[in-house]
Amino acid sequence: SGSKTEFTSARVLPGGQVATAIIACQTWQLRTRYVGKIGDDLAARIHRQEFEGLGVEARLLVAPGCSSQQAFILVDGEGERTVLWKRAEQLAVSARDLRREWIVNARLLHVDGYDTAAAVRAARWAKQAAIPVVADLDEPYRGVGELLESVDYLIVSRDFPERLLGEPRLDKSLPLLKRRFRCRLTGATLGTEGVLAWDGERFHYARAYQVAVIDTTGAGDIFHAAFIYGLLQDWPLQRQLEFACAAAGLNCTAPGARGGIRSVKEIANLVEAGSRYPAAWEVSGLGAAHRTPADKSRSPKLPRRPKLPIA
């Protein structure tokens, strides 16, 4: 609008949708592998140092003479952020860049949809090896339908189902997503309204936690990391969702995509005693859905494997 606005502070911090989820999982004592592409600049060194410092097995491809993906994130006084980002074409991971052994010795694979062809190949390898696939999607990328056919746990942004299917109501679009792509679970994160998920028989809903918000950057990434953590612990689905909401909320209490990653104990304490936002959904009125605190439904057992690569 041609105006000037004063800002109070600026920081250079690492981020990335899957990279942030990886860092959280490694912090919670899961063994992780990250596959991605970086440039040969200062940002690339920051990413390398972050992975090395925490012990992440990072398979980092390098685009020579190229800057790493950059994002300028503007955070207002209430913690809401606006993201301005840039990514050079040379940073795209192609299907040819992947190695099967990076994927098939895993307990779980986590993907986003930016490099869709590579994600499709990795997910198909995982499927063939009976490895569950979790996807974090916020855009209906070209070819995303092929990817969804190999996704087991699809938890997306609020408006993704409508943009993909044209159905605005989540209580209709989530079951439709599950039927069309045969996922085990479909869900949508809803910010302060929590998360709604459909397992094929019933809806599950978890409320968000009230915290002192500093920066909402990375909340969805940490949600997925915490969901993965609970899944690998074989927790009941309701516990997974509540733990993920709590982890995401706590991450918002510090600056940056990874600033508020808390310990498993701190997250569990918030689940146990934290204040929550009012319920935005009444699942007892949605089809066969009926949630109670004693819900014992569990996700299918996962294979026990030595590593958890997340690509």
Q: Which two tokens stand for residue 48?
A: 């390398």
Query: What is the predicted pLDDT for the residue at 49?
Result: 95
Query: Strands 203-206 and 195-198: what pairing?
Result: antiparallel
Q: Render pLDDT for 284-311 as a digit per residue (tens, 0 to 9).
A: 877 544 333 333 334 444 444 434 444 4
**What are the CA-CA distances from residue 189 to residues 62, 146, 194, 282 (Å)?**
33, 22, 6, 16
Query: What is the predicted pLDDT for the residue at 287?
Result: 58
Query: What is the predicted pLDDT for the residue at 289?
Result: 41
Query: What is the predicted pLDDT for the residue at 113?
Result: 87
Specify the long-range contacts of residues 123-130, CB closer than 8 Å, at least 24 apart: 123/147, 123/150, 123/151, 124/150, 125/100, 126/150, 128/104, 129/103, 129/104, 130/303
Query: What is the predicted pLDDT for the residue at 77?
Result: 76
Query: What is the predicted pLDDT for the residue at 85?
Result: 77
Residue 191 CA to residue 220 CA, distance in Å, equals 9
Single-letter code of the amino acid located at 225? A
Query: What is the predicted pLDDT for the residue at 302?
Result: 44
Query: What is the predicted pLDDT for the residue at 1?
Result: 56
**Residues in the chain, pLDDT under 50:** 288-311
Residue with tokens 């207002």: 76
- DSSP string for 17-48: HHHHHHHHHHHTT--EEEEEEE-SSHHHHHHH
Contact 248, 226 (CB under 8 A): yes
Single-letter code of the amino acid located at 222? I
Q: Which two tokens stand for residue 152?
A: 């087991």
Q: Render pLDDT for 155-188 as a digit per residue (tens, 0 to 9).
A: 999 999 999 999 999 999 999 999 999 999 999 9
